[in-house]
């Protein structure tokens, strides 16, 4: 039995894509999450290429993996949040002052 290389590529892409999406959502480091978001966009653009949509692939690569990541990085830099800082809600309810 021979395996179609395109099919193999699709399977690998799907698996990596979903793993990187999960990391993007779960990780505490916002920069890593951003990198993973860019990676998902890049893989999506490869997928668009496989699905015979070269116009969309080029646009997605330039926007999803380029522009959005840039704007995101700028926002991180501007706010100084590189990690997911969360306040403790229960303490807040008890009246402990935050900032």
- Return residues touching another protein (CB under 8 A): 7, 10-11, 13-14, 17-18, 21-22, 24-25, 30, 33-34, 37, 40-41, 44, 47-48, 51-56, 58-60, 62-64, 66-68, 71-72, 74-76, 78-79, 81, 84-87, 89, 92, 98-99
With tokens 């306040």, the residue in question is 87
**Could you tell me if 77 and 54 are in contact, meaning their C-beta atoms sit under 8 angstroms apart?**
no
- Name which of 82, 91, 87, 3 is nearest 35 in CA terms: 82
Rounded to the nearest whole angstrom, what is the least distance from the CB of residue 29 to another protein in the complex?
11
Rounded to the nearest whole angstrom, what is the least distance from the CB of residue 75 to another protein in the complex?
4
Cα separation, 97 vs 78, in Å, equals 25
Rounded to the nearest whole angstrom, what is the least distance from the CB of residue 2 to another protein in the complex?
17
Rounded to the nearest whole angstrom, what is the least distance from the CB of residue 72 to another protein in the complex?
7
Give the length of the chain: 99
Cα separation, 23 vs 58, in Å, equals 25
């Amino acid at each position: 039995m021979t395996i179609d290389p395109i099919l193999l590529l699709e399977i690998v892409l799907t698996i990596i894509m979903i793993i990187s999406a999960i990391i993007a959502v779960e990780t505490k480091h916002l920069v890593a999450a951003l990198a993973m978001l860019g990676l998902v966009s890049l893989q999506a653009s490869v997928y668009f290429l496989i699905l015979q949509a070269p116009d969309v692939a080029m646009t997605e690569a330039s926007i999803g993996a380029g522009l959005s990541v840039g704007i995101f990085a700028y926002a991180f830099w501007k706010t100084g949040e590189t990690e997911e800082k969360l306040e403790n809600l229960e303490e807040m309810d008890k009246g402990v002052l935050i900032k």
